[in-house]
Structure formats: structure tokens, C-alpha cells
Amino acid sequence: MRIVMIGTGYVGLVSGACFSDFGHTVTCVDKDKAKIDALLNGEIPIFEPGLDGLVANNVAAGRLNFTLDLAEALPEADAVFIAVGTPTRRGDGHADLTYVYAAAEEMAPLLRDGAVVVDKSTVPVGTGDEVEKIIARTAPDLEFSVASNPEFLREGAAIDDFARPDRIVVGVNDDHAKAVMEAIYRPLTSNGAPLIVMSRRAAELTKYAANAFLATKISFINEMADLCEKVGADVRDVAHGIGTDSRIGSRFLMPGPGYGGSCFPKDTLALLKTAEQYGASASIVDAVVESNDRRKAAMGDKVIDALGGNAQGKTVAVLGLTFKADTDDMRDSPAIDIVRALTAKGVKVRAYDPEGMEQAQQHEGLGAGDIAYCDSAYEAMEGADAMVIVTEWKPFRALDLDRAKDLLAAPVLVDLRNLYSRKDVEDRGITYVAVGR
């Protein structure tokens, strides 16, 4: 198949590289010249384990290419995937579909008859209908189809998720689109990956519903963690006790500082706006959003309490800035709220993250003039009154605690990811503050 991927962000680049690895011919298109030039030079603009090698191999094999010129890529395409950003729109919380609709209008006169346009971006219900109208209005004689194919990729494990998916969701309203999508995904379905075909609107809603449900599990266990602290229970026991129930499942039951990233925050808000638009209740999702906002705000207070309540002039080592491990993504990371809460109380922050420090400095309050960035976790600990684990990077799971105690001015560990055993930490004379334990 000949595939064009519009957008070389996280979803577009990973999807394009994976499709090319299946044997399809893929051209990734972007308007950002610096990004395309970097990709043509073999430089990957995002951190995702294994992506650099995957891109390099398929470029060398001639199956993957990058261009700024949509007119060069589109005329022979069997399928055109729209993988552009849909951020939360300022002011009203709706998904901003400006880039999706612009892509539809720009591609319309360049498409060949029979082409299938696929929304890969996360978009609200009815977006496919609007894309179809835009293309039909711009190219009234064109025969084409519009499909929905939401992605379910975890940052840090995206390539494996693409190659071994729990399911592939495809939304189509005609048989031609169904046949093309089946052909694109045949390398996966022939190995047993389930392809779930539904209406276009159902596929659009499935993506939002999935993310909202996972966000609900996270917020639920975080609230149970708070309750565990009050009643003297261990949230790990509670999570294990409920997670072994096959109706509930054990995944997403790890308490922490709240969810962040490119999906859950904006998708829960967009789902709320869709429900509001159609006059449907989404009170559970509304409560999840509020709970997560409170959670992230409370984590700063938790650190300040660990400092004895008087934080002015004290120093804290913050280990981990990205919203999760194995990514450089800082979008809506709990670390942003935590660092801002600490500096607002007069705390000096020394921070280290294996991949996210450059991206972190682009956020207000996290610039190099606001906090000190260090070259290692141990450098961040030097002279600090406490260290805080915010992100569950593998190196933070095996810290030399004896060395940490010697480096810290006051031996306090606030473990917001529950990576350590209380006994191991306290046996070394370090005060241990965990979540829900």
C-alpha cells in the first residue's frame, strides 16, 4: 500500500515508521522545515525507545520518506492519514481541530479517486463527517472515503504497542474504506491481532471513552491511597486485592502524583465538551478531571509537609520531570505543578530527568533561571533537604541510598511512585514518605 502520513509528531512519526516496517511505502509530510530537515538527516525529534533504529532501517530500505511537499506525496496515495495535533482549545476546553480541517482542505484537490482519508488524530465525534464535507466541497467530483483509526499507543512503549496491539479500531461508513483498512493492517491481523470494525462515529468515541476510563482508574486508586493514609492501610494491598478481580484488572492501579501527558488531560476535557454539546451527562468524567487537578496540587503540599511545614529557603532535589518514564514528553506533567508549588513557597529546586530537561525549560516557572538543572540524580541531591521521586525512571528504582544519605543535608525521601521499601530506606536512617502507605 502507498500511505501518506500528514504530521510527524508523536503519532504520525511512530505510525509512519511502523507502517513502513510492515512493507508499505510511507511518506511523512510536515510543514515544519526544521523537523523535516532533521528527519532527512537521521535525527529523531522525539524520544521513544527504538524509534531511531526503526526509522533508519526503513529509510535505508526505501520504504520511508519525509517531505514538506504535499503535492509530491499525495497523487499516488491509497490512504492518507491525518496525524496532526488536536490540543485543548484555549478558553472553552474543546479540541482544537484547526489543523485537521486545514489538512483536509489542502489535500482535497490532490487526492486520486478511491483514496481513503483516515483520521488518526484524536478527534471528537462527528469530525469525520466534517472532513468528508470539506473534501467534497473542495473537490466535488472526487470519489473518496473517510475513515477513523484512533491510536492506542503508550509513550515509551509505542512501537511494541503498534506491533502487538490489544485491538485495532477502525471506523468506516462504506465497504471500500473497510477493504483498504483491512489491507493496511493485514500484516498484523494475519498474526492474530483483532481488527474491530465499527461506524466512524463509534470509533471516534471509543478513543475518548478508553482514555476516560483509564483516567478514572488512576484517579480512583489515588483517592483510595489518600484514604489508606488516613486509616492506616497499605494501598498496595488494596490495589492487589481489587486488581486480581478479572472484572477490574490490575493495570492502572498504581497510585502516584496524578496523570498527565498528551492524551488523558485533553481527552477527558474534550469528552466533557462533547457530552455537553449533545446534552448527555458525564458526571463521572467531570469528577475525574477535578480529582486529578486536586491530586497534582496536593503533591506540592505533601513535599512541604515532609520538610516540616516550613519550606522557605530549603532545597529539594526533584528526580523526574516528564509525565512518565521513557519519554521526553512534559505535557501536563505533575512535575510542573509540584515544582511551581515548591518555588512559590520559597523552595530552591534542583532537578534531574534523563530525557526531559530541555523540554521542561519551555514551561513557565521551570526555566533555567527558576530552578537548577543537574547532570545526575546525585548532583541534584547535593545539599538538599529532601529528594522527591516524581517520575518512575528505571535509574531512580536503584539509587544508592547510602550515597544519597551522605549527599543530602537532611535525609528525607518523598517517593511519589512507591518505588522503595520503607524498611530499606528507614534502615539507612532516611525518613521515608510514600503514597498511600
- What is the third-level CATH fold of 2-198? Rossmann fold (3.40.50)
Q: For 123-154, how does the pLDDT look when each residue is reduced to its tens digit (9 = 90+)?
A: 999 999 999 999 999 999 999 999 999 999 99
Q: For 272-296, how does the pLDDT look when each residue is reduced to its tens digit (9 = 90+)?
A: 999 999 999 999 999 999 999 999 9
Which of the four pLDDT bands, split at 50, 70 and 90, describes residue 91? confident
Looking at residues 158-163, what average pLDDT do you find? 96
Which of the four pLDDT bands, split at 50, 70 and 90, describes residue 90? confident
pTM of the predicted protein model: 0.93
Task: Give yes or no for residue 119 having a pLDDT over 90.
Answer: yes
User: Per the annotation, does 86 bind a ligand?
Assistant: yes
Q: Please identify, in words, the CATH class of the domain defined by 208-289.
A: mainly alpha
Which of the four pLDDT bands, split at 50, 70 and 90, describes residue 349? very high
Looking at residues 14-33, what average pLDDT do you find? 97
Smallest CA-to-CA distance from 224 within 209, 237, 210 is with: 237
Residue 163, CA distances (Å) to 14, 82, 203, 252 in order: 11, 20, 20, 21
Q: For 385-420, how does the pLDDT look when each residue is reduced to its tens digit (9 = 90+)?
A: 999 999 999 999 999 999 999 999 999 999 999 999
User: Per the annotation, does 178 bind a ligand?
Assistant: no
Contacts of 56 (CB under 8 A, 6+ apart): 42
Q: For 318-340, how does the pLDDT look when each residue is reduced to its tens digit (9 = 90+)?
A: 999 999 999 999 999 999 999 99
Lowest mean pLDDT among 168-172, 233-237, 307-311, 374-378: 307-311
User: Per the annotation, does 401 bind a ligand?
Assistant: no
Q: What is the C-alpha separation between 131 and 351, in angstroms, rounded?
A: 44
Smallest CA-to-CA distance from 255 within 208, 302, 209, 210 is with: 302
Q: For 186-212, how does the pLDDT look when each residue is reduced to its tens digit (9 = 90+)?
A: 999 999 999 999 999 999 999 999 999
Q: What is the 3-state secondary structure (H, E, C) of 340-382?
A: HHHHHCCCEEEEECCCCHHHHCCCCCCCCCCCEECCCHHHHHC
| Contact present, 48 and 155 (Cβ < 8 Å) | yes
Task: Give yes or no for residue 310 having a pLDDT over 90.
Answer: no
User: Per the annotation, does 394 bind a ligand?
Assistant: no
User: Per the annotation, does 419 bind a ligand?
Assistant: no
Q: What are phi and psi of 144, to 5 degrees?
A: -155, 170
The pLDDT of residue 354 is 97
pLDDT above 70 coverage of the chain, percent: 100
Q: For 361-371, how does the pLDDT look when each residue is reduced to its tens digit (9 = 90+)?
A: 999 999 999 99
Smallest CA-to-CA distance from 66 within 28, 92, 99, 98 is with: 28
User: Per the annotation, does 16 bind a ligand?
Assistant: no
User: Per the annotation, does 87 bind a ligand?
Assistant: no
User: Per the annotation, does 399 bind a ligand?
Assistant: no
Which of the four pLDDT bands, split at 50, 70 and 90, describes residue 429? very high
Looking at residues 212-220, what average pLDDT do you find? 98
Q: For 99-109, how does the pLDDT look when each residue is reduced to its tens digit (9 = 90+)?
A: 999 999 999 99
User: Per the annotation, does 331 bind a ligand?
Assistant: yes
The pLDDT of residue 400 is 97
Active-site annotation, residues: 263
**Sequence spans of domains, the chain:** 2-198, 208-289
Smallest CA-to-CA distance from 390 within 290, 259, 293 is with: 259
Which of the four pLDDT bands, split at 50, 70 and 90, describes residue 93? confident
User: Per the annotation, does 251 bind a ligand?
Assistant: no
Q: What are phi and psi of 143, to 5 degrees?
A: -100, 120
